[in-house]
Amino acid sequence: MRLFVFLSCDNEWYLQTNSCLQHKHHPKLEEEATALSQRDMSEQQQSLVNILFDHKIPPTTISKVLSELNDDDKGTYLPKTLFNYTEKCRNLIDVANGILSTCSDAEKTIKKLEL
């Protein structure tokens, strides 16, 4: 798509007539370009992601590691997807340990020290 907008003197935004609102001439995406989600991860991959994240490996590097280990070469994991997945895991672990999102930072620290 190609959109051209302009701000007129009456302070309104308008779409120019030479805008193209149809998808045209896009190259076919390779299968490696498909974004994979958490549902596409095996249990081993989920475990590996958690271990790497615990060791402070950035999501970008974890994404590269998973794409190297992926046998079928279909799709890649976006770093943001991996970050969101690990955040969900951390939140579930915190809830299981009695650390709620409503707790203050001091309360969270004390509960983590008690573990």
Q: 14 lies in a domain?
A: no
- pLDDT value of position 38: 83
Q: How many domains does the chain have?
A: 1
Q: What is the mean pLDDT of residues 8-17?
A: 83
Parent domain of 71: 27-114
Q: 57 lies in a domain?
A: yes
Q: 104 lies in a domain?
A: yes
Question: pLDDT digit string (tens) for 39-64?
Answer: 888 888 889 999 998 898 998 898 88
Q: 15 lies in a domain?
A: no
CA distances (Å), origin 20, targets 8, 11, 23, 80: 20, 23, 8, 30
Question: pLDDT digit string (tens) for 14-32?
Answer: 887 777 777 665 666 676 6
